[in-house]
Amino acid sequence: MAQPELSFTRRRFLKGSFIGVGFGVGIVASSTLCVRHFWSSGSKRPLLGLERLSQSEARTLLALFLTILGPSFQGDIKSLILFVDGFTKNLPNKSFWELRGAFFLMEHLVPLLQGHISRFSELGEIKQIEVLHSLENGQPLLRPLFKGLKELCYFAYYVSPASWSAIGYAGPQVTQNVAPVPDPYVRLIAPRVS
Amino acid sequence: MIYTSDHFTKNETLKCDVCIVGSGAGGAYAAHALSSRGKSVILVESGSFHTLRDFSQREEAMFPKLFYEAGNRRTSDRKIRVLHGKGVGGSTLHNVNLCKRIPEELFALWNLKGLSFAQLEAHYQEVETLLGVKKIAENQVNRANTLFRAGTQKLGYKGAILSHNRTGCVGSGFCELGCSYDGKNNALKVLIPKIVGSGKGRVLADAKVTIFEMQGRRVVKARVSIRDPRLPPDSPPKCEITIEANAFVSCAGGIETPLLLQRSRIPDPFGLIGSKLFLHPGTAALGFFEEKVESWMGVPQSWECTEFLGFGARDANRVWLIGGSAHPAGAASILPGFGSAHRELMHQYPHIVPISPMVHDQSCGRVSQDGEHRVKIDYELNAKDQAQLGLGLFESAKILFAAGARQVLIPFVSPILVSSVDELMMHRERLNHCLGETDIVSVHPMGSVWMGNSPESSCLDVTGRYHHLDNLFVADMSVYPTSIGVPPQISTYAMGKLVGENVARMV
Ligand SMILES: Cc1cc2nc3c(=O)[nH]c(=O)nc-3n(C[C@H](O)[C@H](O)[C@H](O)COP(=O)(O)OP(=O)(O)OC[C@H]3O[C@@H](n4cnc5c(N)ncnc54)[C@H](O)[C@@H]3O)c2cc1C
Ligand code: SF4
């Protein structure tokens, strides 16, 4: 009886870790709004404006952001969650379901495997860190799950201009939607006949 | 002219002499070779057509536009990331422009009857002239590559300044996100305008060839689905175009070409298509310097170290060392750990110099389709290749220390952070087991539909024709019989030329 369950789980683990460097829809980053106090990691408050992720998934993501970005993070978590929610719109359905699978495993199964009865988002900060550490360093089968979720969080964070000054990165050198030199390519597009 | 999804509203049939699938190095050159010889060509590209203003220098915007699966395609065990580009211009839109020929020594090992190295050299010469390939000028060698060079020379290792195809490059350092300054002499800049200007070439963007249809020993049609790139990937195609042609050339790249041939169920009596895939995988050692290096600024990858790169049967080592650079999200994904430890490393971002060892791999994988949007890449990096990467990591670290790095980080899951070569020696054996321990990336998947002398042991003859069909050709980085151990763009342009000229003689 247990065997099919195990193989299903393994497959979902491996596939569920397909996330990471992801799709972008525009992120409006604001460093002024700090929602850390507004949504504590255990909060059941509804998350506004989500189009694809469920509230439970958003809670997992919130907990992941807070743990992975670390205690000194002071930015706008709401916009990071909305960024992730937005980019899932560009994922093929299959990949989106795999991402959901990854959140599910992280929220429910991984803590259980490490002897915690609570969901990941409801563990205290220290336990969340411990869980992630053992996921990162433990069972090779589970490492891709950690790696994928970590990449997702850092991707959302480091594509945001709000993160750049702290790391000495000046950002793009061009103005959005403006070619810095004459564009020889536009004229190659065939005229459209109505 | 160039047609995008906006131009197509209903199913229709188009006719031409030659239909070419994929507009990267191989496809664009084949299309140029054919259209300049008066053959009518339709060049079909599943990615979009981008003009200069589209290259926004933002990772979150450009990865989905320029890379399959937004740059997150991986081997089945998820241990190796496999990057493959899309868009009119293919992977030449985002590549780093360095040009390195296949060494004669390696070519000789392939023993291809009917294709001599002298013939290939003649193709190289013409291609390099057209693409303006030249050595990077001293004043364009950025600080990171200057340090890499200093370290290499201090150790007395073999190295050289590389040749690139760039004109008008302002050294912004954003090459891997596409060039807003039109500084790359790539397929988009050099070849597409010639194809369109010949009056013989049409380019279809947002157009994916789903299958070839056959009659007897000939391909007669390509079915093309047109998708609106603004809609989610699972949206139904807008319409279907059928292309009828006398010959078909697949230039969809080392991953997509075998998939297209498999989907089309073309005859493959020996089960060879996609059965041999080389990844030329690479990883990175990171040096921390006192000074601000800002390795993401300036022309990337202008210096190479070839001390450990051999191609002959008697060469002990097969690893090439090349500088690396990454924009913030890319850098964050390589660095180990999370929380405060990761944040501290990111604060060192301007001080980091990466060197990337890439192995001329003997490991060999397999590529097949997994559902409509995904690909299955089975590839196990064998112990010998891992040991070569281990050697590469060790030697990269030595070079970084010789160049003045105060510390070197090998970004393993359990990171190796050392302050001297002696200290690194204590971890030497661990470096030989990097698979699953650190980010391994393939930017040169190749060899999956290869040339050879017999239909039993290869897919293509030396003209690029598929052995079992009369009018199907391949001209992309699939065609190499082994890994080529160096970046493949210039060789693939040359293959596009060679195959394009062969097809022109036939139709
Ligand atoms: C990050 C990065 C950096 C690189 N830097 C260098 C470098 O500095 N030097 C170097 O020599 N090489 C470099 N390369 C590799 C180089 O770009 C490739 O070797 C070269 O472009 C291969 O040419 P190709 O014709 O085989 O394929 P590509 O250039 O990849 O073109 C294939 C095209 O086919 C299209 N296609 C695929 N399937 C279909 C389909 N079914 N229907 C229609 N179209 C389809 C794709 O969208 C793509 O545009 C780099 C690669 C990467 C990823
Ligand atoms: S470094 Fe040169 S080629 Fe690369 S993006 Fe900048 S201007 Fe373009």
pLDDT per residue over B6-35, tens digit each? 999 999 999 999 999 999 999 999 999 999
pLDDT over 90 at B267, yes or no:
yes
For residue A185, what are its two tokens? 């390519």
Class of domain B2-53+85-132+176-273+448-504: alpha beta
Class of domain B138-163+282-360+382-434: alpha beta
Distance B254 CA to ligand 1 centre (A): 8
Which residue's CA lies nearest to atom 4 of ligand 2? Answer: B175
Using DSSP bridges, classify how beta strands B41-44 and B201-204 pair: parallel, antiparallel or unpaired.
Answer: parallel
Looking at ligand 1, which atom is closest to the CA of residue B176?
1
Looking at ligand 1, which atom is closest to the CA of residue B93?
17
The reply to whether residue A190 touches residue B193, judged by beta carbons under 8 angstroms, is: no
- The end-to-end CA distance of chain A, in Å, is 62
The reply to whether residue B57 touches residue A181, judged by beta carbons under 8 angstroms, is: no
Lowest pLDDT segment from A35-44, A119-128, B230-239, B438-447: A35-44
Tens digits of residue pLDDT in B214-229? 999 999 999 999 999 9
How far is CA B156 from its chain centroid? 30
The pLDDT assigned to A47 comes to: 55
Residue A157 in contact with partner chain B when CB distance is under 8 A: yes
The pLDDT assigned to B233 comes to: 83
Domain ranges in chain B are 2-53+85-132+176-273+448-504, 138-163+282-360+382-434
- Residuewise pLDDT in 10s, chain A (194 residues): 222 222 223 333 223 332 322 222 222 222 222 333 333 334 454 456 899 999 999 999 999 999 999 988 888 899 999 999 998 887 888 888 889 999 999 999 999 999 999 999 999 999 999 999 999 988 888 888 999 999 999 999 999 999 999 999 999 999 888 888 889 999 999 998 65
The pLDDT assigned to A140 comes to: 81
Per CB-CB distance under 8 Å, the chain B contacts of A18 are 72, 74, 78
By CB neighbour count within 10 A (0-12 exposed, 13-18 middle, 19+ buried), where does B173 fall? buried
Residue B171 in contact with partner chain A when CB distance is under 8 A: no
Ligand 1 pocket check for B206: Cβ under 6 Å: no
Tens digits of residue pLDDT in B274-332? 999 999 999 999 999 999 999 999 999 999 999 999 998 789 999 999 999 999 999 99
Nearest to A179 among B3, B52, B71 (CB): B52
**Contact of A190 with B7, CB cutoff 8 Å:** yes
For residue B190, what are its two tokens? 């050099």
Ligand 1 pocket check for B495: Cβ under 6 Å: no
Exposure class string for B212-231: b at 16+ Cβ within 10 A, else e: bebeeeebbbbebbbbebee
